[in-house]
């Protein structure tokens, strides 16, 4: 039988290290709990030289479990919302959180989600609460989610907390879906128009040049420019593409640094369309996160610190950090945010009214709903502007091509007549 060493405290707080034999870690925890001990740590001893049958069978089973976990892809942030939705469905039917996770670990078919549920159930079966089990998966659950789950466990409102988290993450998922949908059509237009232009420059224009050259005569300036562009694309196009790719990689690596991220985020705030969109995103992230945290019983100081980490733009994050420090010193939130010069006056007025009436959470929710609609309209405008710009550029280039060819034909025809 496996042997476990432990460190525990009795009811008087005295430390009692020791060892005991049990069939599993969970059974060892039950035995110690029955003795009235509060376990601080427990580890299984590795006994060499006498592999008992029970020990050997347990080792093989655990090795099989670990091999299955390693063969499956590790869970990512994509499994967070499906897990919470499945957990909420079972909890609303009357099951506890632990039993819900245990059932999900057996019933879920998706490999990554099954790996997540199995790992969580392993921690829960050892006596860990759900929040502590979730903290072992930082790639899936961020600190705000873990703290909210912990608060829900402490207050006995875990089901309501999970429901609020589902609503929050669903809104974020919908915003990302709208953003990708808005960028899909302009990206398609850029690819198609770029392909048409490259086909003309690399394949069609050289053949037209051969025909025009065989006719003799002087070609107009527009045709010479077009032929020069075609020659440059044929002979130096690969070099240009490589240089652009290397430049993009270098820029991306520089942006990954702290200085590069701060600089580029400041640049984006100055761009005509992207700047207002970044401000709207910051307001939406701030209002959504802070309202969820405060609604679930997180203290104002901790909620502000967590909200700060959810703001993507580094310029706005630094400004919000300064505002948070002022709030912790006793200043009102709306007054502290006014000094950042990052939030519109209407948002600040709405927050001030909520603070004065004691309804800050409903005010934050109203701001969140309004800016969800505002961001949707901004995405529609952004899509139309990009699509119109791409189409206008393609039409201008195609018109220039047509003008260059037609003018060359007319000029060469006139030279034959003379």
| Range name among 51-65, 71-85, 319-333 with the lowest pLDDT average | 51-65
Tally of domains in the chain = 3
Domain assignment of residue 178, yes or no = yes
Tell me the pLDDT tens digit for each residue of 142-186.
877 887 888 778 777 788 888 888 887 887 788 778 778 777 877
62 and 76: one domain? Answer: no
Question: Are residue 198 and residue 287 in the same domain, yes or no?
Answer: yes
The CB density around residue 413, as the number of other CB atoms within 10 Å, is 11
* Domain finish residue from 23, 39, 67: 67
Q: List, for residues 245-291, the tens digit of each pLDDT value.
A: 999 999 999 988 888 888 888 898 888 878 888 888 888 888 888 88
HSE, CB side, 13 Å, CA atoms: give it for residue 356.
Answer: 8
pLDDT above 70 for 389: yes
* In-domain check, residue 176: yes
Inside any domain, residue 155: no
CA distances from 383 to 179, 181, 386 (A): 10, 9, 5
Does a structural domain hold residue 261? yes
Residues 83 and 55 in one domain: no
pLDDT at 154: 72
- Confirm if 113 and 94 have CB atoms less than 8 A apart: no
Q: Is residue 158 part of a domain?
A: no
Same domain, 88 and 237: no
Which range of residues forms the domain containing residue 129? 72-141
Do 220 and 123 fall into the same domain? no
236 & 385 share domain: yes
Give the three-class secondary structure for 223.
Answer: helix
| pLDDT number for residue 54 | 42
Task: Identify whether the C-beta of residue 169 lies closer than 8 Å to the C-beta of residue 285.
Answer: no
Instruction: Assess if residue 378 is contained within a domain.
Output: yes
Q: What is the CATH number of the domain that holds 10?
A: 3.10.20
147 domain residue, yes or no: no
Q: Are residues 235 and 328 in the same domain?
A: yes
Quick check: is 153 in a domain? Answer: no
Residue range 76-131, pLDDT digits in tens: 888 888 899 998 888 888 888 888 888 888 888 888 888 888 888 888 887 788 88
Q: What CATH number does the domain containing 306 carry?
A: 1.20.81.30
- pLDDT for res 215: 65
Q: What is the pLDDT of residue 250?
A: 93
């Amino acid at each position: 039988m496996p042997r476990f060493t432990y460190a525990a405290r009795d009811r008087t707080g005295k430390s009692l290290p020791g060892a005991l034999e049990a069939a599993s870690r969970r059974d060892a925890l039950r035995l110690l709990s029955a003795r009235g001990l509060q376990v601080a740590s427990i580890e299984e001893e590795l006994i060499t030289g006498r592999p008992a049958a029970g020990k050997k069978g347990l080792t093989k089973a655990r090795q099989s479990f670990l091999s299955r976990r390693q063969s499956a892809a590790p869970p990512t942030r994509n499994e967070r919302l499906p897990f919470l939705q499945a957990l909420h469905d079972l909890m609303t039917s009357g099951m506890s959180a632990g039993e819900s996770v245990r059932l999900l670990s057996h019933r879920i078919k998706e490999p990554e989600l099954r790996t997540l549920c199995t790992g969580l159930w392993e921690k829960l079966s050892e006596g860990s609460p759900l929040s502590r089990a979730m903290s072992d998966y930082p790639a899936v659950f961020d600190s705000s989610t873990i703290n909210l789950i912990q608060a829900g466990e402490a207050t006995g409102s875990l089901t309501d907390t999970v429901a609020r988290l589902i609503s929050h993450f669903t809104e974020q998922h919908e915003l990302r879906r709208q953003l990708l949908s808005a960028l899909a059509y302009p990206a398609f237009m850029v690819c198609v128009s770029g392909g048409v232009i490259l086909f003309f420059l690399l394949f069609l224009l050289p053949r037209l040049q051969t025909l025009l050259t065989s006719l003799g005569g002087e070609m107009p300036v527009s045709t010479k420019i077009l032929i020069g562009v075609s020659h440059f694309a044929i002979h130096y196009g690969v070099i240009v593409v490589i240089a652009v790719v290397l430049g993009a990689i270098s820029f991306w690596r520089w942006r990954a640094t702290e200085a590069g991220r701060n600089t580029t985020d400041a640049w984006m705030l100055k761009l005509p369309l992207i700047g207002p969109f970044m401000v709207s995103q910051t307001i939406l992230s701030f209002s959504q996160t802070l309202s969820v945290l405060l609604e679930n019983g997180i203290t104002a100081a901790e909620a502000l610190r967590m909200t700060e980490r959810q703001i993507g733009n580094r310029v706005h994050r630094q400004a919000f950090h300064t505002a948070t420090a002022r709030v912790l010193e006793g200043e009102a939130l709306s007054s502290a945010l006014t000094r950042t010069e990052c939030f519109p006056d209407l948002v600040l007025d709405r927050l001030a009214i909520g603070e004065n009436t004691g309804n800050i959470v409903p005010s934050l929710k109203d701001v969140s709903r309004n800016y969800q609609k505002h961001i949707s309209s901004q995405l529609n405008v952004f899509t139309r502007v990009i699509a119109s710009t791409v189409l206008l550029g393609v039409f201008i280039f195609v018109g220039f091509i047509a003008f260059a060819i037609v003018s060359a034909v007319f000029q060469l025809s006139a030279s034959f007549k003379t």
